[in-house]
Structure formats: structure tokens, C-alpha cells
Structure 1
Amino acid sequence: MLMGEFQHNIDAKGRLIVPAKLRDDLGENFVLTKGLDGCLFGYPVSEWAKLEVKLNEMPLSKKDARTFVRYFYAGASEVEIDKQGRINIPQSLREHAAITKGCMIIGVSDRIEIWDEARWQAYAKEAEENFDQIAETMSDFGF
């Protein structure tokens, strides 16, 4: 299970250290793609395969489904963790997430998310301020 919050800096070549605590669950290679809320999603290959099954079941007759699948796959890239524990994030993905220097890498169960540090801090502050209210609605999801 992927969990935790880690701060690292991306270098000028687009390389980012993947925290050691996340590397075993991610594997040597994993899939990085455009995520929601302005971040990147990183999936272990086994989780990506499960997601692909669901994406392939989406109805081609629905425009929103086609758009989502295209955008999600178009941004996807398989990345490899090098001997120094780094990945190289493609420029298009760095631009999508507005990543320039400080990054937050967070574990979210079956995936990681990579955020620009300032964007994550703003998002986390808002989530913290509304956490009790959000928690009350979780019963709608069977929690």
C-alpha cells in the first residue's frame, strides 16, 4: 500500500527522487500520467493493468468517455527508477502539474501523486479546513 507524504526537489533535467518507502510498491518501472486536481498520478504496472481494463470498458459512444480515455492515455509514460532512486518526468507532465522545483510525493493507496509543492500546500490547507465537513459526507460512499 502506498501512503505517506514526502518532499523532494526536481532537478533541471526533470529528475525526481522517488522516496525509498514507495519504491518497493511501485517497482522498477511504473506508469506516470496526468492526474486530477493539477497533479500527476503514478501507478505500479499491476495497478495500471487493472485500470486499463476499466478504461477499455468505457463506452466509445459517449463523448466524455472518449475524451477522458484519450487524455489519460496521451499523457501516460512508463518511467524507470534509476540507480540513484530517481525518475525522469517528461516535460509535458511537468507542465501539466506546474512542477518547477519543490515537489510533494504522496501515497494514495494504489497510486502515488506528484504535486508542485506550493499547489499541494494550498490544496492540503483547504482540505484540512474542510476535513470534518468532508468526513460527514463519507457515509454517502458507504464509509
Structure 2
Amino acid sequence: MPSRYRDELLSRCAGQLIVTVDAVDPCLCVYPLTEWELIEAKLRQLPSLVEENRRLQRVLIGNAVDLELDSNGRFLVPPRLREHAGLDKHAMLVGQLNKFQLWNESAWNALAEADLAAIKQPGGLPDELRDLIL
């Protein structure tokens, strides 16, 4: 964990993290425990008779693993989750507001480049989103 986030994570959640698969992108989501508890509460409120709800719960909760930052600010991702995201020695930890995404570096670089190119295209970003950054 980069040092600029380490102190904040230690104060907010005592370095306790939850890692799970991302339901959309080929990466992992790393949540501070306090943020994960909010996600878990929302998932708990979903009607369990709806198949899509159960599917999302199975994917997110079924793959969730508790992690803790060690004294050097590192955390160990279980092999099955590393394999899911194609993680090797070159990984990218990307901040995403309430969580981090953990990517294979090559996959992240390709997606980041494609996203930027798409945004730069005429009409690539709706006006209401463009207003956020102007």
C-alpha cells in the first residue's frame, strides 16, 4: 500500500481491508473495512428472491477475503484472486473514491489509454460528466 494511503487506512480501519473480485472489470476491489461494511449492508437489503441479487451477492461476498496491512504496509492477496485478476509482479493499485482497484499493470495501462481516447472523441463524454471536470 503506498505510504500516502497507509496512515489514513490505519486510522480509519486499523489497516483492515476486504478484497474481492470486481463484478465488471478484470481486476480486484480492495475496500477499507468500514467501506465494505456499507456495501455488505446494501447487499443484505436486496430481495433474495431476485436471481440477479443473489448472483451479485455470490460474486462479491463469495469471493471476499479479509486482509490486514502488515507493519510495512503490505497485504497478501490469495492465489485464486491473484489468478482471477492476472496479477503478477507488475500490478497497479488505483484509487476509486471509496475503494481501490488492483490491476495487472498491462491490463490497466491498456484500459486507461482506451478510456482516455474514448473521452477525447467528439461526444465521448456527455455534457453532465464533462461539466464535472471543466
TM-score (norm 2): 0.85
Correspondence list, 1:84-99, <5 A: 84-99=72-87
1:21 is aligned with what amino acid? R
Following superposition, the deviation at residue 25 of structure 1 comes to 3.2
Bigger mean CA offset, 111-120 vs 18-27: 18-27
Q: Distance in 1 between matches of 2:78 and 2:124?
A: 34
Correspondence list, 1:61-100, <5 A: 61-100=49-88
| 1:25–1:44 Cα contact (<8 Å) kept | no
Following superposition, the deviation at residue 136 of structure 1 comes to 1.6
- Is the helix fraction higher in 1 or 2? 2
2:2 to 16, 19, 22: 19
1:135 is aligned with what amino acid? L
Q: Distance in 2 between matches of 1:69 and 1:84?
A: 32
Question: 2:18 corresponds to which residue?
Answer: 31
Structure 1 position 135 matched with structure 2 position 118 = no
Deviation digits for residues 46-104 of structure 1 (CA, Å, limit 9, x no counterpart): 11111111101111111111011011111101111111211000011101101011000
Of structures 1 and 2, the one with the larger relative CO (CA 8 A, separation 6+) is: 1
Which segments of 5 or more consecutive residues in structure 2 lack a partner in the other structure?
A: none
Correspondence list, 1:33-48, <5 A: 33-35=20-22, 36-48=24-36
Q: Distance in 2 between matches of 1:33 and 1:63?
A: 20
Question: 1:125 corresponds to which residue?
Answer: 113
Q: Distance in 2 between matches of 1:43 and 1:25?
A: 13
Which stretches of structure 1, 4 residues or longer, exceed 3 Å deviation after superposition?
none
SS in 1 for 2:126: helix
Which segments of 5 or more consecutive residues in structure 1 lack a partner in the other structure?
A: 1-17
Q: For the aligned residues, what is the CA RMSD?
A: 1.8
Identical amino acids, percent of aligned pairs: 30
Following superposition, the deviation at residue 134 of structure 1 comes to 4.2
- Is the strand fraction higher in 1 or 2? 1
SS in 2 for 1:135: coil
